[in-house]
Structure 1
Amino acid sequence: MTVFDFVKGVFQKDKSIFKLSNSSKINDRWRGKSFNQLAREEQKRIRSTTIHAIIFEQKHPYNSDTSLYQVFERINTGGRTLMPQEIRNCVYHNNVNQLLIDLNKLPKWRSLYGSLEFEPRMKDMELILRFFTLKSDKVKNDDTMQISLKKELNLYMGETTNNYSECIEKSRLSFRDVIEFIYSHFGENAFHNLNSKGEEFVPRFHPTIFDAIAIASANALEKGIVKGLNVDELLDKRLKLLKDETFKKYISERTTRIEHINGRINLASQYLYGVSYV
């Protein structure tokens, strides 16, 4: 579309005049000129030049763009290699991506994540996507031994439903309520692990602890069993959870095995709220 805009003379986005920059990288014959300021022969050459394009069409699944991620990933070899969420941000221009962008700005999420600055490689956004993906019935009820997390995150980004707008708004409220609850009941180190001696919290966000506590808390909120919970008791229960040997295994070994995903969420749910997740 850049060439199209140049020939038309204006940018489609804001209707400003499209002129080439004054950069020394551009030949001084064309530097700072608009299309109409080029010589007639130069205009004719541009208009008659063929720009080749390859159109990719995904036939299965027909309502998803997951193949675009694979194509983008394979051609992404020059310059700085993009991280998975950066690719998703390029490929999936939909309400799910906008939802992640919006939720990533929540002040209490920024505090829990441990940085007020947005992660330049979008790892913070990917964690929010993890929350929705691992919480979904599709993953919860998966009968395979292990999932490909990258594939499942892609599928969630590209999925569509008949009640799409309602689904997006429900997801927005769910994540916001979970973050509000966790921040007020567990504090800024809610998703941190204990050190090797089990005496102090390490100053680092732990993704699989986030999976476990956030999804377990969402489950408890949905069941309406969080009213009147004692904060001190919850903090004590979290310490016991983090010291549980099985929980330690589930958050550190083969973390994408279904048994370990559901296992760590279930243990968090039982320790913290006294209910089962699975």
Structure 2
Amino acid sequence: MVDESKLESEITTDAVDFSFGELLNLHREKEIIIRPEYQRLFRWSNEQRSRLIESVLLRLPIPPIFLVENEDSVLELIDGLQRTSSVLQFLDHDAIGQPELVLEGCDILKALNGVRFDDLSTSLKLKIKRTPIRAIIIKKSGDQFVKYEMFKRLNTGGSLLSAQEIRNCSCRMIKGGENFYSALQKWANVPEFEGAIARLPEAGRDMRADEELVLRFFAVKDFREGFKGNIEEWLNNYMEDILLRHKPFDVFEEDGVFRQVFGLIFSTFGDGAFSRYNSHGEPTGRLAPAYFEAVVGAITDSYAEVSQVDPHLLRSRLKAAFSSDEFISSTGPGANSNQKFNRRIAVVKQHLLALPNGSH
């Protein structure tokens, strides 16, 4: 029999419709905390913010926001920062410490371009303030892992958040999770790492793909045995093992390793370590995750030896590795199989160190 009382005590979420005017008042009264570390504050352009205001006035659907109730019953915004902050900036820019938002780029209600909130009629001001947005509130729970799982499952399979955005929010519900994710964010801003992954599309960065690459680096380094073919599950399981103390993770020690590895990668390959090469020997196209895994895996395995090889030789050897039949076959169809995952790391290592075939 299912213990219904236990279910009721553990699964505690509410769905509430707040108006934007209510959100502004709750923010002013510090009853809702908007933490920019949960999501990057104002990565949206002025045009994107303006089009959201336009959508509000057009009564177009707006995705829900997610909040978590902390120990003091104060609500913390953990997803929806861009949407919420954009509207609050338009309503009262001083309340969130941002410059006044002047609308631009509105392509349906073009008369809105160049307009400030104070320029609107009373009826339009009230229309924005009274527009509701659905808020999913994850209530206080005695079990932090239940809260973590709840958020993850609410989002899994949906299109509102990327896998890494879900990790960013959910891991903060476990004690120590905020510190771990803050370290990922710090490493994502290391200049050598930023330079090495410069071919990552901007749209991917907006969905935290750079932070996911940091997590993927450590998973390649320390959790290859957990790779079963599903990238999302592999990274989730690795992060959970760290958060639940099933795996050791010393941020200070890992910081040294991370900076050392990406210092070598960027100084040697620039932004060409994780992408294909054209017939002229130049890197081309976007960052390819399978190439990223292969290179960081090979270099973390053999950093001492690789760091002694002339950079010019390393560049020519990496190009040779990427053009080899073995590597190509390990990055094509079925590239996420465990066998091909390990094979492409071995191929790159073999080429970088000029090992005989069959030596890894």
TM-score normalised over the length of structure 2? 0.55
Is 2:354 the partner of 1:268? no
**Aligned partners of 2:331 and 2:344 also within 8 Å:** yes
Identical residues among aligned pairs (%): 21
Q: 1:156 aligns with which of 232, 235, 238?
A: 238
CA distance in 2, matches of 1:151, 1:65: 15
Q: Which residue of 2 aligns with 1:47?
A: none
Question: Unmatched 5+ residue regions in structure 1?
Answer: 15-19, 28-50
**Aligned partners of 1:66 and 1:154 also within 8 Å:** no
Seen in structure 2, the aligned counterparts of structure 1 residues 66 and 173 have a Cα distance that, compared at 3 Å, is: farther
Q: CA deviation at 1:64?
A: 9.9
- Counterparts of residues 201-216 of structure 1 (less than 5 Å): 201-216=283-298
Q: 1:91 aligns with which of 155, 170, 179?
A: 170
Is 2:189 the partner of 1:105? yes
Deviations 1:107-139 (A, max 9, x none): 1222221169781111111122111112224xx
Q: 1:193 aligns with which of 260, 266, 276?
A: 276
Is 2:324 the partner of 1:240? no
Alignment coverage as a number of residue pairs: 236
CA distance in 2, matches of 1:52, 1:191: 40
3-state SS of paired residue (1:205): coil
CA distance in 1, matches of 2:338, 2:215: 17
**Aligned partners of 1:191 and 1:207 also within 8 Å:** yes
Question: Unmatched 5+ residue regions in structure 2?
Answer: 1-17, 35-87, 93-124, 131-135
**Aligned partners of 2:274 and 2:287 also within 8 Å:** yes
**Aligned partners of 2:141 and 2:147 also within 8 Å:** no
Q: Which residue of 1 aligns with 2:256?
A: 173
**Aligned partners of 2:314 and 2:352 also within 8 Å:** yes
CA distance in 1, matches of 2:327, 2:210: 23
CA distance in 2, matches of 1:225, 1:214: 14
- Counterparts of residues 8-23 of structure 1 (less than 5 Å): 10-11=29-30, 23=125
Is 2:216 the partner of 1:130? yes
Q: CA deviation at 1:158?
A: 2.2
Is 2:308 the partner of 1:228? yes
Q: CA deviation at 1:8?
A: 11
Seen in structure 2, the aligned counterparts of structure 1 residues 277 and 125 have a Cα distance that, compared at 3 Å, is: farther
CA distance in 1, matches of 2:317, 2:139: 56
3-state SS of paired residue (1:260): helix
Deviations 1:9-57 (A, max 9, x none): 831669xxxxx96752346xxxxxxxxxxxxxxxxxxxxxxx9976778
Seen in structure 2, the aligned counterparts of structure 1 residues 193 and 109 have a Cα distance that, compared at 3 Å, is: same
- Structure 2: which amino acid aligns with 1:154? N
Q: CA deviation at 1:250?
A: 1.1
Seen in structure 2, the aligned counterparts of structure 1 residues 105 and 232 have a Cα distance that, compared at 3 Å, is: same
Q: Which has the higher strand share?
A: 2
CA distance in 1, matches of 2:289, 2:343: 15
**Aligned partners of 1:64 and 1:158 also within 8 Å:** no
**Aligned partners of 2:138 and 2:147 also within 8 Å:** no
Q: CA deviation at 1:249?
A: 1.4
Q: CA deviation at 1:153?
A: 0.9
3-state SS of paired residue (1:271): helix
Structure 1 ranges of 4+ moved more than 6 A: 5-9, 51-59, 115-118, 275-278
CA distance in 1, matches of 2:151, 2:359: 34
CA distance in 1, matches of 2:298, 2:137: 51
- Structure 2: which amino acid aligns with 1:92? C
- Structure 2: which amino acid aligns with 1:155? N
Q: CA deviation at 1:193?
A: 0.7
Q: CA deviation at 1:194?
A: 1.9
Seen in structure 2, the aligned counterparts of structure 1 residues 237 and 171 have a Cα distance that, compared at 3 Å, is: same
CA distance in 1, matches of 2:246, 2:341: 28
Q: Which residue of 2 aligns with 1:71?
A: 154
CA distance in 2, matches of 1:271, 1:251: 16
**Aligned partners of 1:198 and 1:243 also within 8 Å:** no
Q: 1:255 aligns with which of 335, 339, 346?
A: 335
